[in-house]
Amino acid sequence: MSTTKIAFIGAGSVVFTQGLLADIFAFPELRDVHVALHDIDPERLATAEGAARVLARERGAAPTVTAHAERRPALEGADFVINIVQVGMGEATRTDFEVPARHGLRQTIGDTLGIGGVFRALRTFPLLKGLGEDIAAVCPDAWLLNYTNPMAMNVQYLTRATGLTRVVGLCHSVYWTMRGLADLVGVEYEDVTYRAAGVNHQAWVLRFERDGTDLYPLLDAAVERDPGLRRRVRVDMYRRLGYYPTETSEHSSEYVPWYLHHDSEVERLRLPVGAYLGIVDDNVAEYERTRDALAAGRPLSVEATMEYAPQIIHSITTGTPRTVYGNVPNHGLIENLPADGTVEVPCLVDGAGVAPTRAGALPPQCAALNRTYLSMNDLVVRAAVEDDPRAVRQAAMVDPATAAALPVERIWELCDDMVRAHGDRLQPSLRATLGS
């Protein structure tokens, strides 16, 4: 049997690469895999390669590790492709915050919806198109496991613009939400049965039980006891919608029109406007610590991440059945959401691959929010696929938080400013400024 090959695209995201490799090397069956690392930044690529070799040695693994400045050699013959690229890195992320802030628009994370999500997607799509073409050419049977945000837009673009079918978007929000809920109600996570469905960063906990008993009443009691919990967006949404959302309050505040535009809500719900810029700085500092530790010959402190990609790779290569949460084309999985949107549902994984499961209909109030989210995504993808710069502005008009904060003329002006700021990171047909 040939050695399993795993290609990391954007391996210079060293901290995340290390966590995934730690999980992979924890499986005895995967300790001799071929890890092919690709990044366009030579220093980061060298750091990722050094970290991979140290992690393997520390964990008793014996992989083949190769580093590639060019993408196709990394992909050649790959069985799995893990995409963790961030186009433009911290500089582009700062643009996503600073330009909208000058127009009076608040963001907390800016990577999923909103102006930040739109332009993160638009500067990522050209890379995804090239990646899809390369996979089709040199490893057409590979599974593409995408971590790059905005998750739902990227998966929809990949499946529409590249024709790839073995694409699954992966995010840890459902898993960590359920760990947190179990802690909150005082139940062991291993004893909890749950089911969630919706869209990435805005799925809903539809079932939350232990031994067949609903645990939502215990959550209600915890919220009633702790006034601090009621000062969190996701708890506020749960109390009003009846189902707990599967992403943090910081993320969740950006996907609805009710919070960030209002000073009183920002204060009541303790919303950290611009929080992601601090995370960007922390990620750079963590990368530098890893780089310096490798140079000094110090051991790396890397903990298991419990991410889904290593579990999927293990299940497909060994036939071990698992359930993970994946982002996939809807195609009837959630019957009251658009068929061509990207939804997040439980997926069964074994030697045959990744099989999404049908979730039926969401509660109508949850589906209503998800439909707005997916409508905005669809316009962004259409803008790129149909070379239509007006659809970029229309997506921003549909976006809930943007529409709540700005009149339409200012939205179009903001989009023009973002186009100018991101320049040649966008495909040529979308670089036009249209005025208000």
Catalytic residue IDs: 172
Residue 290, classed as helix, strand or coil, is helix
| Cα separation of the two ends of the chain | 60
- Residue 243 backbone phi and psi in degrees, to 5: -135, 140
| DSSP per-residue letters across 143-202 | EEEE-PSSHHHHHHHHHHHT---SEEE--SHHHHHHHHHHHHHT--GGGEEEEEEEETTE
| Maximum Cα interatomic distance, the chain, rounded to a whole number of Å | 62
Spacing of C-alpha 362 from chain mean position? 22
- Residue type, position 298, single letter: R
Own/partner long-range contacts of 382-386 (Cβ < 8 Å, ≥24 apart): 383/122, 383/430, 384/121, 384/122, 384/125, 384/157, 384/161, 384/427, 384/430, 385/157, 385/160, 385/161
CB 141 within 8 A of CB 166: yes
> Rounded to an integer, what distance in angstroms lies between the CA atom of residue 364 and that of residue 331?
19
Structure tokens at 374: 């997916």
Structure tokens at 135: 């996979």
Q: Which regions of 184-274 does DSSP assign to beta strands (E)?
A: 192-199, 202-210, 213-214, 244-245
| DSSP per-residue letters across 193-210 | EEEEEEETTEEEEEEEEE
CA distances in angstroms from 262 to 57, 108, 244, 251, listed in the order given: 52, 14, 23, 16
Identify the helix (H) or strand (E) that includes residue 8.
strand 5-9
Ramachandran area for residue 270 (φ above 0: left; ψ -120 to 50: alpha; else beta):
left
Looking up tokens 């973002």 gives 418
Give me the helix-helix angle, 233-241 and 364-385, nearest 10°.
120
> Rounded to an integer, what distance in angstroms lies between the CA atom of residue 196 and that of residue 78?
31
> Rounded to an integer, what distance in angstroms lies between the CA atom of residue 325 and that of residue 354?
10
